[in-house]
A and B are shown apart, each in its own frame.
Chain A
Amino acid sequence: MKRVKLPLAWMVCAVLIAMPVLCMAEDAAPTLESVKAELQNNINIVWTCVAAFLVFFMQAGFALVETGFTRAKNAVNILMKNMMDFSIGSLAFFIVGFGLMFGTSNGLFGTSMFGLAGTEPGVSWNWTFLIFQTVFAATAATIVSGAMAERTKFVSYLVYSAIISLVIYPIFGSWAWGNLLLTDNNSWLAKLGFHDFAGSTVVHSIGGWLALAGAITLGPRIGKYGADGKPRAILGHSMPLATLGVFILWFGWFGFNPGSTTAGNGMAGYIAVTTNLAGAAGALTALITSWKIIKKPDIGMTLNGALAGLVAITAPCDGVTPVSAIIIGGVAGVLVVLSVLFFDYVVKIDDPVGAISVHAVNGCWGTLSYGLFAINGGLFNGGGLKQLGIQALGAGTAFVWAFGLGIILFWILRKTIGLRTSAEEELKGLDIGEHGNEAYAGFQVFTNE
């Protein structure tokens, strides 16, 4: 059978490959260059689509990490939040967000291309770009659910989720990335030379600072702080789910960073290397730091460490050496452990999954790290302080924008529909109270804290 089939397959292949060339031969003389350009364009589209699908899969990672790090009685609630922030976010970003972010800019935000109006259905690059940007916007939205876990009213979360994808994410995005599609767009941060390759600031810090605003406005979970003000551990119910989630996120990051080339060429491979090194270094240094401070190699901290390294390398992944990537990830791993302890013990902000430490703090660090390590213009490579200053300006602007709007938004939600569930519902679990469902029917799950 094989002997008969193989030559046949080759013949079909040969015809298929030759066909476009033969067809084109009838058109006005195709040059070698035009064929190469078309092939490259199609490779770019295929790679960017594959990357977008990988980034989409990160939603599963977030869902599992957040579910694993919280209690069984709130599992349905957090799964529903992850399900709905992607769904609402996708619609909101398509209808409004994309136009605000990438349409013709008036200097502050885009004003055209809402729902990609004016783009023919079909082969245009814009569609690929839209789906790629949609999954990025949804990533920023989903970061917040972890920090606000186990105590937020479901309906308020849905409202918040729509607003981040409608305006908060896209408007900041238009300042840093607004000229990616229409290259003459007036995006002030991008024009200054702000470098955020795949979104340490645009995606992760924005999501992280909103998470901080949400966690502050909500206050800690019942029982998180004892009468003496000391933090108490509230154990997550499934480390296997959390670990699987982190691996899925890591996998998705191979689309997040290498895909941000939006071009099928060797840069994708290079960025995959720097991304992977930073994640690995982050896991290792978080392990060492937690071992030193907590006296045991802590799984929660190590998982956060890998994510911290990945968040940090997201901005500089294309412009630093592999050794710098290891240092950037390594610093992130130390930073995330100290930051989690800082939020728990010092400022007493209850963030059940460490979202603020992973995404906000290390999004900032990653953005600044480009100013230090950039091959072109980094402080440590003789480039002086200029790039570092621009990076700091971008990161600072993100903080003011996202945290400021976040505080206002969550305050309004608290005063109107209410942000927090009743104490009784929180104690019994949001699954029964908000959804009337159980995550683990048939298992004996007890809530005896």
Chain B
Amino acid sequence: MKLIIAYIQPHKLNDVKQSLYKAEVYRMSVTNSLGCGQQKGYHESYRGVPLEVNLLKKIRLEIAVNEGFVEKTVQAIIAGARTGQIGDGKIFVVDLPECIRIRTGERGGDAIG
């Protein structure tokens, strides 16, 4: 089992959801987050005084999948989130030792599916 964590542009969330649905991945957690990578921030001003905003608004996606779904999911996220410009985001894939469905007590691959 793997946990796929992706940081994407907020306005690409809908596209990513669509392409995940197409790849038959229907489960995900979405969190709003702030972060910075290669993408520079932007400038704001308040009553004439400049202000640099460095931490940008991002969306964090978490999807736990069985091995067979890893590549499909990754490709779907890329398909939805990629514009080719700096700021498109990153995907991390980490091992997931255990998963338990609270309602039934199922464990492992059965609990994810």
Contact = CB atoms under 8 A, between A and B. Distances in A.
Interaction A to B: yes
Contacts of B59: 446, 448
B80 interface: no
A446 B44 contact: no
B13 interface: yes
A441 B43 CA distance: 14
Majority secondary structure of chain B interface residues (helix, strand, loop or mixed): strand
Contacts of A447: 10-11, 57
Nearest to B56: A428
The size bracket of the interface on B is: 10 to 19
Contact of A449 (B14, B43, B46): B14
A437 B13 contact: no
Contacts of A438: 44
A267 interface: no
Given A436-B45, A437-B45, A448-B32, A223 B14 contact: yes
Contacts of A427: 11
Nearest to A223: B14
Contacts of A436: 43-45
B13 A449 contact: yes
A326 B13 CA distance: 47
Contacts of A393: none
A448 B10 contact: yes
A444 B32 contact: yes
Contacts of B46: 437, 441
A86 B57 CA distance: 34
Given A446-B59, A447-B10, A449-B13, 6 more contacts: A436-B45, A437-B45, A437-B46, A446-B32, A447-B57, A448-B30
Interface of B: 10-11, 13-14, 30, 32, 42-46, 57, 59
8 residue pairs, one from A and one from B, having the closest CB atoms: A427-B11, A448-B10, A446-B32, A448-B13, A436-B45, A436-B44, A447-B10, A448-B59
Interface of A: 223, 427-428, 432, 436-438, 441, 444, 446-449
